[in-house]
Structure 1
Amino acid sequence: MNYLSKSPWLYIPKPNVNAHVKLICFPYAGGSTRSFSNWVKILPDYVELIMIAMPGRGSRFSEASADCMDTLTDTLLNELSPHLSRETIFFGHSLGARVAFEVYRKLKKSGVQGPCHFIASGSANPGKDRSAENTHSLSDTDFIKKLRNLNGTPPEVLENEELMTLFIPVLRADFKLADTYCYNGSEQLPCNVTVFMGLDDEISEQEQLAWQHFFSGQLTFKKFNGDHFFIDSHNEIVGNAVCDLIQEIFIDKTLTHVG
């Protein structure tokens, strides 16, 4: 899974020891590496794809889910450290964007090289107070209704009582991360940031553009067809946009020796 260690936290489908750029992807609440895995087919040869594999799903289904942002990001910081000697780009969708932001903050605080570019996809800014939502503490009936309204869980899964009995604790843990996190600091992270937004997302454009306040670099903004889960419904289009962005970032860098 990982050629530098046997970390269950990182899925690297095509290890590339000669990669000059590492694209590190953080999934949304309830999400998995599935949202990013197809991108390995279209990324430039000089990019290695690294996906965060959260506990409680996939091959880690039997493991306890993470429900504390500080503990989670401390763990990810440790797991990612061997991969940060090259240029990196962080991509996070929804909750994943805030997890990536916290990992970046801790990297900066520890003096470790952070990403050269940050992509916040389908996410309100880190300073938004979500505590009033309390999605994670809803009754099972209301929780499933909320999931149905979000349109990110297949109807056949929501209607399968046995599957939902197994999966609800995982989803509750992820939503607890989302509901209880709010960044109240004032520091700006030193790189450019790109915001990806679904045209039909319930998160307002203003809430997403406010990512600018948390970075000292330039903000760019790109809209996609689809709702909050446009990353899945328009996965290839989003992947191509990520590829285009990477090539634009590194167009002036010397990559002629990449084979």
Structure 2
Amino acid sequence: MFERDRKSLSLYCFPCAGGSANSFLRWRTSLPPWIRIRPVELPGRGVKIREPLLRDFDAVVENLTQELVRESSDRCVFFGHSLGALIAYRCVYALRARRKGEPMALIAACSAAPCRRRDERLARLKTDEDLIGELVRLNGTPPELFKSKELLRLALDTLAADFAVCSSFSFKKREKLSLDIVVLGGRDDMIEEDALSAWREETLGQTALLMFAGGHFFFNENENVFFARLISELDRTSRASCRCDCVNR
């Protein structure tokens, strides 16, 4: 398939706790034109800075689903990092309930499977010192942020709200999804491989677990390796979809 003949694919990117859509904008320079990056913004940050931060998981899903119903297409993949993977997963169910169908695939990075969530530790991170310690541990925050009182205050308030969102998630068994799920993990991250592998319990489709050198933000530490593998997975998904389209005609 020549590049000019390839059908485009929209990659909806859901950020981690404390993150924003801006973290995905630079991906556009590292991915081919047929992959259209569509960053998903949570309330209270970025272009939604005037909206109040939400602290309830279901409220976040409802807020984002209203936008996705208007925007998402049949040829899209959801990518979620950490909390973003969990939100993306539940948005798939919310879209299906609205008879919008499922994305072509879900890519879940550094996120334990919904049935293996253990977020009690996050609920105990209450003080600014606790939250700063968590930012340092995760090693994904630009050093200059810690030098600005205003930016740090904004980051801590956002992180506290997102940790409340994590803590409010409640798992219950649902009818399994049918899409493929690709799970990405960092070998130095605290999330164990069996908690990542458990994503296979959420779908009737195929699942794959890919481990990378690095921690919770491994894709920043090994960009070239990560982008090459991401492109490969999206290419596989796109070609499989094209074959299905031909068979169903």
Bin for the TM-score computed over the shorter chain: 0.7 to 0.9
Question: Which of these residues, 147, 151, 166, is aligned with residue 178 of structure 1?
Answer: 166
Distance 2:138 2:132 in 1: 10
Q: CA deviation at 1:163?
A: 2.7
1:66 aligns with 2:65: no
CA distance in 1, matches of 2:42, 2:54: 8
In structure 2, relative to structure 1, the CA distance for the partners of 1:105 and 1:142 (3 Å cut) is same
Name the structure 2 match of 1:122: 110
CA change 1:136–1:58 in 2 (3 A) is: farther
Name which of 74, 87, 96 aligns with 1:108.
96
CA contact (8 A) 1:42 1:240 kept: no
Contact 2:96–2:102 (Cα < 8 Å) also in 1: yes
**Bigger mean CA offset, 21-30 vs 155-164:** 155-164
TM score, norm. by length of structure 1:
0.83
Cross-structure match for 1:161:
149
The residue that corresponds to 1:85 in the other structure is 73
1:71-127 per-position Cα deviation (integer Å, ceiling 9, x unaligned): 111121111113333311111010000000010011122221111111111111112
- 2:25 is equivalent to residue 53 of structure 1: no
Displacement of 1:40 in angstroms is: 1.9
Any idea what SS the aligned residue of 1:165 has?
Answer: helix
Once residues 225 and 27 of structure 2 are traced to their aligned partners in structure 1, the CA distance between those partners, rounded to angstroms, is 10
Q: Which has the higher helix share?
A: 2
Task: Rate the CA distance shift 1:200–1:137 in 2: closer, same or farther, 3 A.
Answer: closer
Question: Aligned in 2, Cα 1:52/1:136: closer, same or farther, shift over 3 Å?
Answer: farther
Any stretches of 5+ residues in structure 1 without a counterpart? 1-17
Give the C-alpha shift of residue 42 in structure 1: 4.0
Q: Distance in 2 between matches of 1:163 and 1:229?
A: 20
**Partners in 2 of 1:61 and 1:76 — Cα distance?**
15
Residues of 1 paired with 2:38 and 2:17: CA distance? 18
Residue in 1 aligned with 2:175?
187
- 1:119-172 per-residue CA deviation (whole Å, 9 max, x = no partner) reads 111111112343421447511222212222222223442354343223211111
Question: Which whole-Å CA distance do the structure 2 matches of 1:131 and 1:27 have between them?
Answer: 17
2:130 aligns to what?
142
Aligned to 1:152: 140
How many residue pairs were aligned? 238
1:175-195 CA distance string (max 9 Å, x none): 111222132214311111111
Alpha-carbon distance in 1 for matches of 2:31, 2:144: 32
Match of 1:5 in 2: none
Deviation string for 1:202-224 (max 9, x for gaps)? 10011111000011111112111
Partner of 2:10: 22
Q: Matches of 2:7 and 2:28 in 1, distance apart?
A: 13
Structure 2: gaps spanning 5 or more residues: 1-5
Kept in 2, the 8 Å contact 1:136–1:172? The answer is no
Alignment check: 8 A CA contact 1:22 1:86 kept? no
Which whole-Å deviations, capped at 9, do the CAs of 1:231-250 have from their partners, x for residues lacking one? 32233432332211111222
1:94 and 2:82 matched: yes
Identity %: 32
1:204 is the counterpart of 2:200: no
Whether the 8 Å contact between 1:19 and 1:45 is mirrored in structure 2 is no
Letter of the 1:210 counterpart: A
